[in-house]
Amino acid sequence: MARRDGDTIELAVAALAAVAAKDVAEEAKRWIGFLGHERRLAPKTLESYSRDVALFLGFLAEHLGGKPKLAGLARLAPADVRAFLSRRRSQGIEARTLMRTLAAARSFARFLEREGRGKVAALAAVRAPKVPRSLPKPLPVKAARAVTDPAARAGEAREPWVLARDAAVLALLYGSGLRISEALGLARRDMPMPGKGDSITVTGKGNKTRMVPVLPQVLQSIADYAALCPHALAPAAPLFRGVKGGPLSPRIVQLAMERLRGALGLPDTATPHALRHSFATHLLARGGDLRAIQELLGHASLATTQIYTAVDSARLIQAYKAAHPRARG
């Protein structure tokens, strides 16, 4: 693993060791290493998992009157887990976050059982909190096109190459359905010049790679940015750069989208990730095959992609209610 991955593991282990007995802390270190080396989870995901388990173990240390040991984890009752969830709810934590925390604790418990270090049956016995399922909120086609146009921010006191860069990133999110991390993880050599190719290979969740098409207009937008960029874009270096020449931060892309929301009068749901939703929804609305869209998005399960059929149905019903003479009363 890279150096920063190792740093993440060390910090995560230190946090867990502060709230758990030595035997639990040692197994937690092995668990985090397993997630990083074998499962190849991203450093941010490792950090999130370890933080959630540290919260759970910290609660147990208070609840049980001492840092939990492996034997103590095996003796946990479902009531102990429910007490943890109840405490977090009283602190204003939402169901989605509670579900994530419980999933992290269960991951650690499965590791312990697989390694023959005991079974934490109480975690499996407690039902996960119900999370209201909300539909993705794509942008209308006209708005999605507008946010990828550098002219939409022409009045800003920003350098032309910065505006071209932001437009190129957003065009890539909408044109190819990428996540921000996938777009910002591209090197210069990954992107073909206009007329020299029509697809790229991106690395998604779990370090899985997939090939996605890139529209000629998007390639031209990226070429325009590259021509204006004042920083040397070496083949192996990041394609998208910050003002000082370092890798572009996802936060900068989010801020660019915030400015566009103000300029174009878009709702708060118009985020960079909404462009990925827009990509999928607009393809589906124009007859795109659901399994093909699944592959383009890099979804492991077709069920994840199927939510866009509900979005498309909702849009059809809305259009029907707005346009049908009888529906309008």
The predicted-structure confidence for 225-274, as pLDDT tens digits, reads as follows: 999 999 999 999 999 999 999 999 999 999 999 999 988 899 998 999 99
Nearby residues of 151 by Cβ (< 8 Å), 6 or more positions away: none
Contact 235, 220 (CB under 8 A): no
Give CA–CA dist 276/181, Å, rounded. Answer: 12
Return the residue matching tokens 């019903």. Answer: 317
pLDDT at 320: 41
Between the alpha carbon of residue 317 and those of residues 172, 310, 322, the distances in Å are: 30, 11, 9
pLDDT at 3: 42
CA angle, corner 70, sides to 69 and 75, nearest 5? 95
Tell me the β-bridge partners of 238: 187
Give CA–CA dist 298/310, Å, rounded. Answer: 19
3-state secondary structure of 271: coil
Give CA–CA dist 268/265, Å, rounded. Answer: 10
Contact 248, 238 (CB under 8 A): yes
pLDDT at 325: 53
Nearby residues of 314 by Cβ (< 8 Å), 6 or more positions away: 135
Nearby residues of 265 by Cβ (< 8 Å), 6 or more positions away: none
Predicted confidence (pLDDT) per residue in 178-206, tens digit: 999 999 999 999 998 888 888 888 888 87
Between the alpha carbon of residue 293 and those of residues 142, 148, 212, 222, the distances in Å are: 21, 21, 10, 23
Residues marked active site are found at: 179, 205, 273, 276, 299, 308
Start-to-end C-alpha separation, the chain: 63
The residue ranges of the chain whose pLDDT is under 70 are 1-9, 12, 131-133, 311-329
Return the residue matching tokens 């992107």. Answer: 191
pTM: 0.62
Residue of 31, 54, 41 lying closest to 107 (CA atoms): 31
